[in-house]
Amino acid sequence: MSNEDFEKTKKMLAEINAVVIGMDPSIRPATFEILVSRYLGSPGAGASITPKAKVKETDSSDEAPDTTDLGAFINSFDTKKPADAVMVLVAWLYSNYGAYAISIKELKELADSCGLTVPARVDMTLRQGKSGGKSLFVQQNKSWKPTVSGEIFLKDTYKISKGTKSLPQE
C-alpha cells in the first residue's frame, strides 16, 4: 500500500468513525462493519476506497450466508418488501447474539444505518409474524423476542445458527 493510499484510507476511516459515533451504542459495531465493507471492501482484503456495488449472491440453498458482515448478509436476501427487511435484520441479530428481546428502536436504527426501508410500525410486523399458525415473536415490555417457533423459522428460512456473542454494552 502506497503512502497516498494509506492517507486516503486513513481519511475514509476517520469519516466512517464520525458517522459511527453518532449512532446508538448498541449498533455501533454493526454500523462500522457495514460502512467499512461498503466503502473499503471486505476486511483484510487489500481494500480499495471506492464504494462497492450491491451484487446479489447466487441463490445456493446449501450454503449458509456470511453472518460476520451485515452488508453481505443483507445482500444475500431479497429485501424489497419492508417486512422482509425487518425479518432479515432480526435474523442477523439472532445469528450473532441469539434470542434476546430486540427493541423497535434498535431495529429502526440498524435499518437506517443499512439504508433499508422498514414499515412505520415495525412492532405490528413482528406481532403479525406467523409460521404454521404459530407466532414468531412474543412481546416483552416494549421489545420483541423470538419464540421457539420463531427461532426455528429463522434457522430454516435464513440458514443460520443461534449466535453466542454477548450484546454490546451501551
Rounded-to-integer distance, Cα 49 and Cα 167, Å: 30
Q: What is residue 147's predicted lDDT score, i.e. its pLDDT? A: 96
Say what the pTM is. 0.65
Q: What are phi and psi of 60, to 5 degrees?
A: -120, 110
Domain boundaries, the chain: 3-50+57-158
Q: How far is CA 40 from CA 3, 72, 83, in A?
A: 16, 13, 29
Q: What is the pLDDT of residue 38?
A: 75
**What is the rounded distance in angstroms from the CA atom of residue 102 to the CA atom of residue 93?**
9
| Per-residue model confidence as pLDDT tens digits over 71-110 | 889 989 988 999 999 999 999 999 999 999 999 999 999 9
Report the candidate in 30, 157, 28, 165 with the shortest Cα–Cα distance to residue 98.
Answer: 165
Beta strands per DSSP E along the chain: 102-103, 130-131, 134-135, 137-140, 143-146
For every residue of 75-121, DSSP letters joined together read HTS---SHHHHHHHHHHHHHHHH-S--EEHHHHHHHHHHHT----S-
